[in-house]
Structure 1
Amino acid sequence: MGGELVTGVFGAVFIGIGATAVMDGWAILQKRIFGVPSLDYRLVGRWIGHFSSGRFRHDSIAKADEVQGEVVIGWAAHYLTGIAFAGLLLLIWPEWVRHPTLWPALLVGIGSIIAPFLVMQPCLGAGIVARRTPQPWRSRFRSLVAHTSFAIGLLVSGVLLAGWITGSVQM
């Protein structure tokens, strides 16, 4: 049981960081090639930074007062969220860490879009499913693409870790 817990926790951290890094890599590529702006995680940090004063929802997070350390808070939250979703994947499919397959990665990765659509975007002032943004369908599509890249990152990171665990991939 102890080894399974260590593999599960380590697996969630490794896979979550890897998948989030793939998501960020895709965002950088989109910005450089297509000029697509990516989410400003400083604003996520600002949102979280206001929690201590009891403020959880904003009409426009960009207009809210800045919070000390908001960049670090936002990026840390971004990666911790990736780890949490990887942990959810391994909680639902514990053997996935040794035998990763496409469908669980897609279900959790693309399914993770629920968090920004129903929690983060409304609390940042963008409305449920980005309905208060200037181009809601464009925002929704970009979110779908970002979370699909996270799903691909889950699979790639899972395959790398499984190969390392079984000895077929050397790191």
Structure 2
Amino acid sequence: MGLIWIGLVMGLVGTVAMDLWALLLNRLLGQGMPNWGNVGRWVAHLPRGTVFHDDIGAAEPVRGETAIGWVFHYGVGVVYGVLFVLLAGGGWLAHPNFLPLWLFALVTIAAGWFLLQPGMGLGNALSKTDTPWKGRIMGLIAHTVFGIGMWLPVALIL
């Protein structure tokens, strides 16, 4: 199996793990689910030249924005999986140590903190929300789950 395919599987499984984690937190603790419609709205406004919104909820709605958000979410997860495998190479695949993958998964939160969240009007690293530190910690935990999800298929299959 080529590096690209392995990375694709890793990113897909990692993203599914992250979504299952969100569902578990929702069912057990009543934590809200991610709003992929808002993400889709943000993505759909990018080609129109708007990267940063004061409030994505006040931006013009876009047809199919929830589907766009889900596709974007999984697309980014797959890109991260492929990027990691290409950076780590076959040597890592021969001995898939979790630590470098976990560090990579934690670093990927930077795109959310410094592009997506401010783009949707939430501020850098959720600074404009009521509980930014709670969101930041939950994001780091979710990205840890993403890393575990990316590592599992490699650890179990290779």
Q: Given the two structures, how large is their TM-score scaled by the length of structure 1?
A: 0.87
| 1:52-91 alignment, distance < 5 Å | 52-91=47-86
Conserved in 2, the CA contact under 8 Å of 1:97 and 1:161?
Answer: no
Change (3 A) 1:13 1:131: same
- For residue 106 of structure 2, what is the aligned residue in structure 1? 110
Q: Which has the higher contact order (CA 8 A, sep 6+)?
A: 2
Match of 2:126 among 127, 130, 136: 130
- Listed one character per residue, the Cα deviations across residues 82-108 of structure 1 (whole Å, up to 9, x for unaligned) are 111111211221123343211121011
- Unpaired runs of at least 5, structure 2: none
Conserved in 1, the CA contact under 8 Å of 2:40 and 2:69?
Answer: yes
- Listed one character per residue, the Cα deviations across residues 111-144 of structure 1 (whole Å, up to 9, x for unaligned) are 1111101111110101011100111111111111
Match of 1:99 among 90, 95, 100: 95
CA distance in 1, matches of 2:22, 2:124: 22
- For residue 148 of structure 1, what is the aligned residue in structure 2? 144
CA distance in 2, matches of 1:98, 1:43: 40
**What's the Cα RMSD here?**
1.3
SS in 2 for 1:58: coil
CA distance in 2, matches of 1:24, 1:66: 24
Letter of the structure 2 residue corresponding to residue 25 of structure 1 = L
Tell which deviates more after alignment, 61-70 or 94-103: 94-103
CA distance in 2, matches of 1:161, 1:24: 22
Conserved in 2, the CA contact under 8 Å of 1:42 and 1:71?
Answer: yes
- For residue 168 of structure 1, what is the aligned residue in structure 2? none
Conserved in 1, the CA contact under 8 Å of 2:4 and 2:86?
Answer: no
CA distance in 1, matches of 2:147, 2:132: 22
Q: Given the two structures, how large is their TM-score scaled by the length of structure 2?
A: 0.94
CA distance in 2, matches of 1:99, 1:76: 31
Runs of 4 or more off by more than 2 Å in structure 1?
96-99
- Listed one character per residue, the Cα deviations across residues 3-52 of structure 1 (whole Å, up to 9, x for unaligned) are xxx61111111111000000000000000001111321111110011122
- Unpaired runs of at least 5, structure 1: 1-5, 163-171
Conserved in 2, the CA contact under 8 Å of 1:11 and 1:161?
Answer: no
Q: Once the two structures are aligned, what percentage of the paired residues are identical? A: 34
Q: Which has the larger radius of gyration?
A: 1
SS in 2 for 1:93: helix
